[in-house]
Structure 1
Amino acid sequence: MRRVARVAALVIAGFAALAGGSGPVRAAEGLVLDKIVAVVGDEIILLSQLDTLVASSPLLQEALQKYGRNPTQQQVEMATREARTQALDELIDQQLIKKEAQRFQISITDADVDRYLQQIAQENGFRTPSSCARRSSRAASTATGPTTCRTPRTSCSCTRPPARWRTRR
């Protein structure tokens, strides 16, 4: 046991000596490349994933619409926090759904998703899911309220999917 402790101490001392004497290593110490923002089971959600979702979804724009044309800096910060919270909830939900699908050995192909989106579009009076998304994009840019599109995709500018499409925690 003493021998393991001595070897560990030597290894730590060696790394400390290397880090203390080397300029580039010391400069890289302060650089944070990514952060873990959540852990779902044994999976992690990174800050970069959260930022990507916020940037690629209408969540931030929806949150900013509450404050009108010229929001203050404080309102922008509040809207950003709200959008990040919603995006993190979505990422957590996605991880939970993925875990449950694995647990019950459910696999869904892209063709299954496409068929389901086609069915939803037709139920809402559209020929294709893309026509539903186009209409909702036009409506969202001119209307202040939610649109009637029910396409369950985050790329659609509709409001968030109904609760029946989300799993319970």
Structure 2
Amino acid sequence: MTSFQIRPISPAEHDALGEVSIRSYLEDGLLLGGLDDPYAPNLRDVALRAASATVLVAVDGDTGAILGGVTLAFHGSTMAQLAGPGEAEIRMLAVDPGAQGRGVGSALAVACVERARTEEGTKRVVLCSQQAMTTAHRLYARLGFERAPELDWYPLPEVLLWGFRLDL
């Protein structure tokens, strides 16, 4: 098993992370409309994410391949959907299906929490997750996140997103 590194994304890696994100969400059945799902363009447009938020990637130590990525948005960012004053928001955490089970998702989430702790005035990390993302829910619980039903919301009538929070 190869090692991996978590670091900020470079512009040359935007397309690769966009494709990893699409593969991850498709394989997990999270894009209800398949490639035509209205959320698919958001997953692909990593340049837009990186313009107003921090995008981190997990990179294979041997091959340099993108194994996964995540977006961390602070309050005021156009990428923040839930984050209020003093909060950071984890969004679009995705791991390539072939790299799942290696701790990539956990390492990306931990890196977000650590980065949020270094941002002055940040007191909480929030995120939302589809109900079906039970593996992710277990990961968040291991990191200390708690369900926050007051953050639940519907981006589409048939999709309920559950809110989670971690006080720093």
Q: TM-score, normalised by structure 1?
A: 0.26
Greater fraction helix:
1
Report 1 or 2 for greater relative contact order, CA contacts < 8 Å, sequence distance ≥ 6: 2
Greater fraction strand:
2
> Which protein is bigger by CA-based radius of gyration?
1
Q: TM-score, normalised by structure 2?
A: 0.26
